[in-house]
Amino acid sequence: MLKSSPMMRYIVYRGVFIAAAALLMVSVSFFLVNAVPSNPAGAILGSFATEQGISDLNHKLGLDKPLLQRYFEYMSGLAHGDLGTSYYTDASVLESIKSRIVGTIVLIVPSLLFAWIFGTLMGGLAAVYRGSRIDTVVNVVISMLQSVPHFVIGLLGALLLSYSFGLLPAPTGQVPVGMIPPEPRTGAVIIDAVLAGDWNLVVPAAKQLVLPVLALGLFNSVLFARTVRTTLAHALESPYTEFATARGISSVGVKLMALRASLLPTVTYAGIVFANLVGGTAIIEIVFSWQALGQWGIQGIQRSDLPVIQGFVLVAGALALLAYLAADFAAFALDPRTRRAGASGVRTPVVPTGGTDEVEAG
């Protein structure tokens, strides 16, 4: 019998883990959402609702059934692709997610790229010029970004760049005021404009992205900056770097090699940041009236719309798990130490020491 490759065993191991984690996530989220005291029927009927009216609506919505029965009905529907319908709009939760998820991803992806680039730049400067004024300034900037919530950054950015200096459009959603969006296909106006060939709307829609992406990217760049500063400073002091310098490699070349070796942990952290962005976009979407998945989920929470809340938690958790899985596979493919550890099913911590070829003792 042929022996399976380390990559195949790693994929199977991770696949089983992700499936179990997804089942646990769905189950825990269902019980948490439904166990929290709420009164959806009362919220729907308003302050003049009678006890009989609330009782009748609870029966219609199935909220008078035992919790376990509702759980198994939900899981049965989930297995058939049915996430339920909104209590307020009677719209399919699955269709609502499909019409909004791309609009949120359009925020997440450029925010992640900006956070990675800006964080790497800040961390690299602090490591190369450690102990200098540049290092001090970078540390102050990183500390400020870490202490200020992303929605505050967004509000300050809108106040300064939009209302004070007029450099960017006002935070009025995905479409500037006075412009008509194209026929919705994906839920992201900039993509819908490209698909419709409406090139006059592409640039204004791209400008609408700048402020929310800056707010999310700056806030989430902190993790990359601190990681790169620590790993690069360690790599620059390693025997690997001293050997490269002794061989006559230029100072710039040595720093670039050390930076390349130090970037590996950021691949793993990119999955963590992506997962943070899935939930973090919700408040930013409200601030900028983005009308995508996060804002839809917050509205569901405010209305005690349980199917909407469960659908939002399910999608956010699934995206986070997929991000972790993608980052895990990327680290497995890029780092030989992780591949060797993956052959035995055990992960070895990735500790950059200035070279990716180094074999850990033991």
Predicted pLDDT of residue 351: 40
User: How many CB atoms are located within 10 Å of the residue 79 CB?
Assistant: 8
pLDDT greater than 90 at residue 259: no
User: Are the CB atoms for 284 and 107 separated by under 8 Å?
Assistant: yes
**Higher local confidence (pLDDT), 275 or 335:** 275
Closest C-alpha to 222, from 230, 211, 233, 234: 230
Annotation: CATH topology of 101-343: MetI-like fold (1.10.3720)
Predicted pLDDT of residue 336: 60
Predicted pLDDT of residue 125: 93
Using 50, 70 and 90 to split pLDDT, how confident is the model at 5? Answer: low
pLDDT greater than 70 at residue 236: yes
Place of tokens 């729907």: 44
Q: What percent of the chain has pLDDT over 70?
A: 90
Closest C-alpha to 278, from 259, 258, 293: 293
Average of per-residue pLDDT across 278-288 = 90
Average of per-residue pLDDT across 15-30 = 89
Predicted pLDDT of residue 346: 43
Please give the structure tokens belonging to residue 193.
Answer: 């404009």
Average of per-residue pLDDT across 330-354 = 54
Please give the structure tokens belonging to residue 198.
Answer: 């409406």
Predicted pLDDT of residue 265: 86
pLDDT digits (tens, 9 = 90+) for 66-114: 999 999 999 999 999 999 999 988 999 999 999 999 999 999 999 999 9
Please give the structure tokens belonging to residue 340.
Answer: 């060797």
CA distance 182 to 10: 44
**Higher local confidence (pLDDT), 141 or 360:** 141
Predicted pLDDT of residue 347: 45
Phi, psi at residue 85, to the nearest 5°?
Answer: -130, 155
User: Are the CB atoms for 49 and 41 separated by under 8 Å?
Assistant: yes
Predicted pLDDT of residue 352: 42
3-class secondary-structure state, position 245: helix
Is pTM beyond 0.75 here? yes
User: Are the CB atoms for 262 and 228 separated by under 8 Å?
Assistant: yes
pLDDT greater than 90 at residue 37: no
Question: Which residues, at least 6 apart from 168, have a Cβ–Cβ distance to it below 8 Å?
Answer: 157, 161, 162, 207, 210, 211
